[in-house]
Amino acid sequence: MTDKPKTVIIGTDGVPFEMIEHFAQTGVMPNTARLIADGTFAKMQSSIPEVSSVAWSSMITGANPAEHGIFGFIELHPNSYRMRFPNYNDVKAPTFWDKRDGKSVIINVPSTYPVRPMNGVLISGFVSIDINKSVYPPDLVPTLQSFDYRLDVDARKAHQSMDLFLEDVEATLQGRIKAYRYLWDYCDWNTFMLVFTGTDRLLHFLWSAYEDKNHAHHAAFVDHFRKIDEVVGEIAGKLTDDDLLIMHSDHGFERLDHEVFVNYLLAENGFLQFKQDTDPALENICPDTKAFALDPARIYLNLKGKYPAGNVNPAGAETILDEIEDLFTEFQIDGRKVIRDVYRKADIYTGPYIESAPDLILVANAGFNLKGKIGADALYSKGIFTGKHTQDTAFLLIKGPHNPEKLPNPPKVSDIPAIFM
């Protein structure tokens, strides 16, 4: 390995600023605490919307969604209401490892499936389907399999049994750690990025276990973070003062009070209608529909020419957007306003793919989790999930040569590459 300064990035999916702070102060994450003491520790803004595919695409490209083209986990096929799932091929802006000289080792970054050749090693993260399309160079697959490397926690298990789910979270973490240790000496890299995504899975299902010390899974929850901190310590120990270590999350998390179904409200107020005697499904939208939402809270006008049953003329678009904005701005549950902000696409996005952006994007107030589900049977409910993403409480921790003055205040997830590029 050369002596040139290295950059190492440790990503922890979904971990909020306050949680890192709390675990650092209470001795769960002593290694992280040391980095905080020696470095810069800040609350960071996620992307809008604050879902992993958008946030990580922004982080690795340093660009906003209208530049990289990823606006959510779901898009529609052209001129249809059929859903598709954008992947790495849809990321239109170059990633930092595409632009950077030298080799990079990139492990488990969401939104990088299917992998393509690059200078170094790339193991894709959520949503990766097939190990053989998730690893570059491909001859690493047998080695990874010998580590019992798992692309992702099987979250379906949480719906059956939390014990099974926790076993899977642990096994996935161990496979990931083995892979990182093996790849650390695999080639002469100058950028190494390792992302833990089990954190996000735990936070979705077991936020309650974090808050409640008497919860059956509280110890397991805390233990997961302790293990991650051990890896942080192990990695920090391999670095010199000339190397840069960045630790961060892609979005934050908080307690979930209500799942709120945006399409339900749109339908209730006549903006969204389905053909008679059909199931509520995007394919069954009828031409009276003015707007619909895709997950989490991206609202699209049913524009004529753009969709098969489109009937909104560009001339009338602004009026409808105003009506929808009013509807959501005033929207309350239990006397609390649900929506923090309603954005028009031009408010938050700039770039060549702005045409593909949603017409309105909603960001919720604390406790409300906005969902784009179609066919929900109530306006809001509470299901298996106890935690939800936040847009404004991600964290950023930098240790090593950098200029804190140059960092925007507050920093955004897309500002990270500029720290080391």
Partner 1 sequence: MNEVLNFVIVGHVDHGKSTLIGRLLYDTESLPADKIEEIKKASDGLGRDTEFAYLLDHLEEERKQGITIDTTQVFFNTDKRRYVIIDAPGHVEFVKNMITGASQAEAAVLIVDVEEGVKEQTRRHSYMLSLLGLHQVIVVLNKMDLVDYSQDRFNSVKKDVADWLASINVAPDVYIPISAIKGENITKKSDKMPWYTGPTFMDSLDTLKNKVSPDEKSLLFPVQDVYKVGDKRINVGRIETGTITTGADVKILPTGQTTQVKSIEKFLEDTHQAVASECIGITTADSVFLDRGNIICSPGAEPHLTDRVKANIFWMSKRPFTKDQKLTLRCATQETTCKIERIARKINSSTLELIAEDANDIANLEVAEVIIKTKKPVAIKDFNDVQEMGRFVLVRDENTCAGGIITEN
Partner 2 sequence: MSSALSHLDKLENQSIFIIREAYSQFRDVAMLWSIGKDSTCLLWLVRKAFFDRIPFPCLHIDTGYKFKEIYEFRDKYAKEWNLDLLVARNEEAIAAGMGPDKSKFNCCNELKTVALKQAIAKHGFKALYLGIRRDEHGIRAKERVFSPRDEDFEWDYKNQPPELWDQYKTKAAEEEHIRVHPLLGWREIDIWEYVKRENIPTTSLYFAKNGIRFRSIGCETCCGPVASEADTIDKIVEELKTTNISERSGQAQDKESDYMMQKLRSLGYM
Q: Which residues bind partner 2 (CB under 8 A)?
A: 51, 73-74, 77-80, 82-85, 126-127, 129, 152, 154-156, 158-159, 201, 204, 259, 278-279, 281, 283-284, 295-296, 305, 369, 371-373, 383-385
Asked if 27 is part of the footprint of partner 1 (rule: CB under 8 A), the reply reads no
13 binding partner (options partner 1, partner 2, none; Cβ < 5 to 8 Å by kind): none
Asked if 175 is part of the footprint of partner 1 (rule: CB under 8 A), the reply reads no
132 binding partner (options partner 2, partner 1, none; Cβ < 5 to 8 Å by kind): partner 1
- Answer whether 19's CB lies under 8 Å from 210's CB: yes
- Answer whether 124's CB lies under 8 Å from 113's CB: yes
SS3 of 399, please? strand
Closest to partner 1 by CB, 130 or 347:
130
Asked if 379 is part of the footprint of partner 1 (rule: CB under 8 A), the reply reads no
Query: Which of 25, 15, 84, 8 is CA-nearest to residue 413?
Result: 15
138 binding partner (options partner 2, partner 1, none; Cβ < 5 to 8 Å by kind): partner 1
Asked if 138 is part of the footprint of partner 1 (rule: CB under 8 A), the reply reads yes
Task: Decide: residue 326, CB within 10 A, 0-12 exposed, 13-18 middle, 19+ buried.
Answer: exposed
Amino acid at 400: G
Query: Which of 126, 115, 131 is CA-nearest to residue 13?
Result: 126
Least distance in Å: CB of 279 to partner 2?
Answer: 7
Secondary-structure percent of the chain, ordered helix, strand, coil, rounded to 5: 40, 25, 40
Classify each residue of 78-114 as buried b or exposed e, where b means 16 or more C-beta atoms within 10 Å of its C-beta. Answer: eeebeeeebbbebbbbebbbeebeebbbbbbbbbbbb
Closest to partner 1 by CB, 129 or 164:
129
Least distance in Å: CB of 184 to partner 1?
Answer: 22
Q: Which of 129, 239, 348, 379 binds partner 1 (CB under 8 A)?
A: 129
Quick one: which segment of 136-144, 344-352, 360-368, 406-414 binds partner 1 (CB under 8 A)? 136-144
Q: Which of 2, 89, 240, 276 binds partner 1 (CB under 8 A)?
A: 89
Closest to partner 1 by CB, 69 or 417:
69
Calculate ∠ Cα 263-208-32, nearest 5°.
110
Q: Quickly list H helices, 62-215.
A: 65-68, 96-99, 141-146, 162-184, 198-211
Task: Decide: residue 185, CB within 10 A, 0-12 exposed, 13-18 middle, 19+ buried.
Answer: exposed
Asked if 156 is part of the footprint of partner 1 (rule: CB under 8 A), the reply reads no
Pairing of strands 244-248, 394-399: antiparallel
Q: Which of 34, 133, 218, 344 binds partner 1 (CB under 8 A)?
A: 133
139 binding partner (options partner 1, partner 2, none; Cβ < 5 to 8 Å by kind): partner 1
Q: Which of 3, 139, 377, 405 binds partner 1 (CB under 8 A)?
A: 139
CA–CA distance, 310 with 303 (Å, rounded to integer): 5
The contact set with partner 1 (CB under 8 A) reads 89, 114, 129-133, 138-139, 141-142, 145-146
